Amino acid sequence: MCGIVGYTGGKSAISLVVAGLRRLEYRGYDSAGVALTDGQGAPLLVEKRAGKLANLEAALTSTFSQSTSGIGHTRWATHGGPTDSNAHPHLSGDGKLAVIHNGIIENYIELKEELLKKGHKFYSETDTESVAHLLSDAVADSGGDLATAMRNVCKKLKGSFTLLAVHSDNPEIIVGARRNSPLVVGVGDGENFLASDVSAFISSTKRALELGQDEVVVVTPNSILVVDLEGNVLTPKEYEITWDAAAAERGGFAHFMLKEIFEQPKAISDTLLGRIDETGVVRLPELDLLNLDVERILILACGTAYHAGLIGKYAIETWSQIACDVELASEFRYRRPVLSPKTLVITISQSGETMDTLMALRYAKSLGAKALSICNTHGSTIPRESDAVIYTHGGPEIAVASTKALLTQIIALHLFALHLSVKKLSPSDLEKIGNELLALPSKVEQVLETIEALREMTRGFKDATSVLFLGRHVGFPSALEGALKLKELAYMHAEGFAGGELKHGPIALIEEGTPVIAIMPPVGSEIREKMASNIQEVKARGARIILVADTSIDIASADHVIRVPETHELLQPIISIVPLQVFAYEMALLRGNDVDQPRNLAKSVTVE
């Protein structure tokens, strides 16, 4: 939900800001803009354009290359459509101050009314423009001090925001502030960066500072000052970014999504590394921070991360015998939930910034629950506000559609479930599961080796109007994930159903030729025969069946069979979801869609 970059130093700001925006474009891509300072008192250089970053780049003239300080924004529209005038930055009336914003200013209407009464003019339909006018008034009130002005304005704002502002009177200074939206500082040598996430400056520095809630940061080329809203000086935590710039590049792949699909074996290995051995013994020292006297587990997450939770629930309950519920984070706090002190809340989030999940976490904590997060982004808000965190080691996920993050989230849940169950499972069961987990990277590789066949098969369904996904047990949330991927990438009607639910309504959707992708439980599963019957039921009504099945199964009734390696039943989604990702990817390509930046979406959803 909007990407933000600021640079101040000795180099050409425009190239670094635009390079940063390119890395952040996954956060929003309906318009983009920059504001650069150009020497003491000289007017700001501002350009903004509706559409993707390329439109902005085409509009930039050579005058922009002189400046060594500036800010840039790539937008996912909330208030006001994606037009040039609604694009950020927004300017003060005198044109001396520019501001960019990620989030939502909830009280912008009343602020705007007051500003209109004072004579300010508005040129956009955004909530952000009010901040530009408020800041310019506050700068005047504070004798030209942009940092003090920012602190005072933040106190008046309700909602969520990351804000960056520049003023032409102080061309080397960028002031930032954050509440409920992400902002990190990149610490350079004679230069400093501000950004929504570290990928924006990873090519220049690996040193980053975490900023907390309601903190204001003032950067110049040689200084970084962090204060709270009262002006008290704070000492932010510095950390080193552990991945390199190449991880945030496409590296020869046509799309980030394809690269990330192929990175899954490594992402799984990295997430398992040092945490489990062949005897199935798990080492998660992160959990020492929690008192794991747990009677109930509640998993909260959104979208694909929610599906990870639904899948993890089976292993948690089966192995540990502790009750586990999974709920959409966006629904949780509005139903007045009841949590006992022995409830452990687990939030799952790739970005660590999803607003629905963050708000659910805060609400759960306010009810006294202990909170564990499973997260892929170091230092992001959700792990910072949790009592403990299991980081997944998936590396940066740039494509909007989540792939490797999901598989590593499921792995983290399996590790957590084993950790809880060490006294409940026999040594031989532990060993069997441990070995199966360790074998998953190579099994996912085997699935990826069949990509040509998957591509060919997908072509046969190009003109379908609707695709149904069917599963039982862990296959059901896998089916939900297959449908979500197809919706978001191919813009097709797709739905996931539990096999047993078909007869309660959804079977009416089946007509001659309807594609049904069914995930077959392995041999020995108690629901295998029932799933086989469900497949027959849709086949009898004319469905075209694509079966995802392991090599142990002899199949007659399917139109297509996607063979996947055998594994433990509870681990099966790690393998069976991979072909569904490829199916959605290929279908999106066949339909001419933008795979990495699907319409209307953004990677990090920082609004409720």
Q: Which residues here bind ligand AGP, judged by CB under 6 A? A: 302-305, 349-351, 354, 357, 400-402, 488, 604-605
Between 268 and 305, CB nearer to ligand AGP: 305
Q: Answer left, alpha or beta for residue 329, where phi above 0 means left and psi between -120 and 50 means alpha.
A: alpha
Helix (H, G, I), strand (E, B) or coil at 510: coil
In angstroms, the Cα distances linking 435 to 288, 441, 445, 446 are 25, 11, 16, 17
CB nearer to ligand AGP: pick between 126 and 349: 349
91 or 588, CB closer to ligand AGP?
588
User: Could you tell me the smallest distance in angstroms from the CB atom of residue 580 to ligand AGP?
Assistant: 12
Does residue 517 contact residue 469 with C-beta atoms inside 8 Å?
yes
Active site residue 404: no
Give, rounded to a whole angstrom, the gap between the first and last alpha carbons of the chain: 11
Candidates 259, 404, 485, 603; catalytic one: 603
Query: What span, in angstroms and rounded, lies between the C-alpha atoms of 25 and 73?
Result: 9
Q: Are 161 and 179 in contact (CB under 8 A)?
A: yes
CA distances from 378 to 183, 241, 351, 389 (A): 13, 8, 9, 10
> What's the closest the beta carbon of residue 530 comes to ligand AGP, in angstroms?
29
| 603 catalytic per annotation | yes
Q: Report the C-alpha gap between 63 and 543 in whole angstroms.
A: 61
Q: Which of 393, 389, 382 is closest to 329 using CA atoms?
A: 382
Q: Which residues contact 67 (CB under 8 A, 6 or more apart)?
A: 12, 13, 14, 36, 37, 38, 45, 171
**Alpha-carbon span 92 to 512, nearest angstrom:** 61
Query: Which bin fits 41, alpha (ψ -120 to 50), beta or left (φ > 0)?
Result: left
CB of 391 to ligand AGP, least distance (A): 13
Query: Which one of 2, 154, 302, 324 is the catalytic residue?
Result: 2
Nearer to ligand AGP, 486 or 518 (CB): 486
Shorter beta-carbon distance to ligand AGP: residue 130 or 604 = 604
Residue ranges of alpha helices (H) inside 351-403 are: 355-366, 381-384
Q: Judged by CB, which is closer to ligand AGP: 488, or 586?
A: 488
CB 534 to ligand AGP: min, Å: 26
CB of 470 to ligand AGP, least distance (A): 20
Q: How far is the CB of 374 from ligand AGP (least distance, A)?
A: 9
Retrieve residue 107's tokens: 């009280």
Nearer to ligand AGP, 280 or 477 (CB): 477
Alpha carbon 182 to chain centroid, angstroms? 12
Q: How far apart are CA 353 and CA 291, in angstroms?
A: 25
By beta-carbon proximity to ligand AGP, the closer residue of 91 and 399 is 399
| Secondary-structure breakdown of the chain: helix, strand, coil percentages, each rounded to the nearest 5 | 40, 25, 40
Give the chain's count of helices (H) and strands (E). 17, 24
Q: Nearest-CB residue to ligand AGP?
A: 303
* 562/576 Cα distance (integer angstroms): 9
Minimal distance, residue 357 CB to ligand AGP, in Å: 5
**Minimum CB distance to ligand AGP smaller for 216 or for 382:** 382
Candidates 447, 486, 490, 450; CA nearest to 469 is: 486
Q: Are the C-beta atoms of 371 and 387 separated by less than 8 Å?
A: yes
Q: How far is the CB of 55 from ligand AGP (least distance, A)?
A: 24
In whole angstroms, the minimum distance from the beta carbon of 400 to ligand AGP comes to 5
Report, as residue numbers or ranges, the catalytic residues. 2, 603
